[in-house]
Amino acid sequence: MEAIKWIATNVFGTPAIMLGFIVLLGLLLQKKNISQIFSGTFKAIIGFLIIGAGSAVIIEALNVFQPMWKEVFNLKTEDLGDFLGQEKFTAKFGSAVTLAMFLGFLINVLLARFTRFKFIYLTGHMMFWTTTIFAGIIVDSVGDVPFGKLVAFLAIFMGLYWTLQPAITQPFMRKIMGNDNIALGHTSASVALLAALGGKVLGNKDNDSEKIKLPKGLEFLRDSNVITALTMGILFFVGAAILAGKGTPGAEKLIAQSGDQDFIIYSIIQSFTFAGGIAIVLMGVKMFIGEIVPAFNGIATKLVPGSKPALDCPVVFTFAPNAVILGFLGAFAGSLLWLLVIGNTVAYIFVPTMIVLFFHGATAGVFGNATGGVRGAVLGGFITATVVAWGQYLMVTFFIGSTIPDTAMWAADSDMFILGPIIKFLAQLLF
């Protein structure tokens, strides 16, 4: 058990190491020389860490953006009542989650080997959080479940999910990538799928977001870095300007973060920081994909013939950078709408998690653009906001209220909201 926990924590729980091992194994199976093995393995790890570094820069900017707009709309922290909490939950059920994640991954590999669903899920951090949230739903639904039964249920369910989720989104992923080399392995798959289907019905695929025609004087907007900085700059500027005139304790606390610098200038700098984070992520994706795809061929041909790696959502960002921003804008606008609607109907204070809205909205934007152009990209973002807003309300209120609703507010993603009711039903049926 200790050995399994060590592997789960230090290999599966450290995505860069896990993916490095995958690349190393693939290169060894192809009998590459020492130079190629070291170069491919190190560049894949570095590329993945660059993606993480870019994501951290994005998150840093969003950690200013989110409380800014939370204060603009006078949002208060939702009263979650009595609950176990992540720390106590991990102490009590962490071993079951870890073991289930490990066994679920083995089931995924076996299914890829012996069925026609040739996808191996490699997004390690999502594997952990999804298993954790689903464990919380089970415990909330039926109380303490025997260790063996909890592990067995989670392992089977996660193994099936990690195998089938990439398969369901692959037809649209193939359209985005232009090839069949990699798959999407991320908890934004549900909104990505809904965006692609919605874009096909309501969008116009001929109006591709990457082919937007602009007047000669506005050609600078073709640069995704420029349009990202400009869009976020406007949103940061508006939020900062509103806060500067409020004079409330919350506004004053946020303004104090800028120190001696003017808060509006500080906020605009954050918009450029956000754009820089996007640029870093795209650079890392290019390096990472360049190494893992050829290396994975070794695994596909030797151990799991014909298999494909299912990877984190930023792998699609380079194929439609404008759709990334359109998806986020659709998600942001949708979150503001649902914030007001949910607050005035069921009296729940939806707290938009900008990190989820960005990464999921951006992914849905790319999928929506693939079938419905600009309209599909924006629609994909709005669908994301709808799933996340109502999903958070249902999850916190009905599915996970006694265990980890705090975690559900910041770590639960689109697929978890969609699959939550199914998990609850199966738990009550079986246990």
Q: Domain limits of the chain?
A: 2-430
Residue 410 has pLDDT above 80, yes or no: no
| Cα atoms in the Cβ-side hemisphere of radius 13 Å centred on 40 | 26
**pLDDT of res. 87:** 82
Least trusted range by pLDDT, from 46-50, 130-134, 374-378, 413-417: 46-50
Lookup result for tokens 């289930």: 100
Predicted confidence band of residue 13 (pLDDT cuts 50, 70, 90): low
| Structure token digits, residue 106 | 């083995």
Residue 219 has pLDDT above 80, yes or no: no
**pLDDT of res. 156:** 97
Mean pLDDT of 20-46: 90
Decide if 26 contacts 295 (C-beta within 8 A).
Answer: yes
Least trusted range by pLDDT, from 78-87, 156-165, 306-315, 367-376: 78-87
How far apart, in whole angstroms, are the C-alpha atoms of residue 204 and residue 209?
Answer: 10
pTM of this structure: 0.83
Mean pLDDT of 383-405: 94
Residue 371 has pLDDT above 70, yes or no: yes
Handedness of CA 230, 245, 382, 173 (dihedral sign): positive
Residue 23 has pLDDT above 90, yes or no: no
Decide if 27 contacts 41 (C-beta within 8 A).
Answer: yes
**pLDDT of res. 34:** 94
133-144 confidence digits (pLDDT tens): 999 999 999 998
The pair phi, psi for residue 401, each rounded to 5°, is: -65, -30
Q: Which of 311, 317, 405 is nearest to 358 (CA)?
A: 317
Predicted confidence band of residue 127 (pLDDT cuts 50, 70, 90): confident
Q: Taking the chain, what is the end-to-end CA distance rounded to the nearest angstrom?
A: 25
HEC letters along 40-68: HHHHHHHHHHHHHHHHHHHHHHHHHHHHH
- Higher-confidence residue of 424 and 285: namely 424
**pLDDT of res. 17:** 83
How far apart, in whole angstroms, are the C-alpha atoms of residue 23 and residue 167?
Answer: 22
Least trusted range by pLDDT, from 318-322, 362-366, 369-373: 318-322
How far apart, in whole angstroms, are the C-alpha atoms of residue 313 and residue 182?
Answer: 11
pLDDT, averaged across the chain: 89
Instruction: Output DSSP code: residue 206.
Output: T
Decide if 331 contacts 381 (C-beta within 8 A).
Answer: yes
235-258 confidence digits (pLDDT tens): 899 999 998 888 888 888 889 989
**pLDDT of res. 77:** 63
**pLDDT of res. 117:** 96
Residue 236 CA from chain centroid, whole number: 23
Residue 224 has pLDDT above 90, yes or no: no
The residue count of the chain comes to: 431
- Higher-confidence residue of 298 and 272: namely 272
Least trusted range by pLDDT, from 3-17, 120-134, 186-200, 333-347: 3-17
Residue 394 has pLDDT above 80, yes or no: yes
Predicted confidence band of residue 111 (pLDDT cuts 50, 70, 90): very high
Residue 266 has pLDDT above 70, yes or no: yes
Predicted confidence band of residue 286 (pLDDT cuts 50, 70, 90): confident
| Structure token digits, residue 207 | 């109006």
302-320 confidence digits (pLDDT tens): 889 999 999 999 999 999 9
| Structure token digits, residue 208 | 């591709």
Q: What is the CA radius of gyration of the chain?
A: 22
Decide if 143 contacts 425 (C-beta within 8 A).
Answer: no
| Secondary structure (3-state) at 123 | coil
Residue 33 has pLDDT above 80, yes or no: yes
- Higher-confidence residue of 218 and 337: namely 337
Decide if 97 contacts 135 (C-beta within 8 A).
Answer: yes
Mean pLDDT of 214-219: 72
- Higher-confidence residue of 370 and 80: namely 370
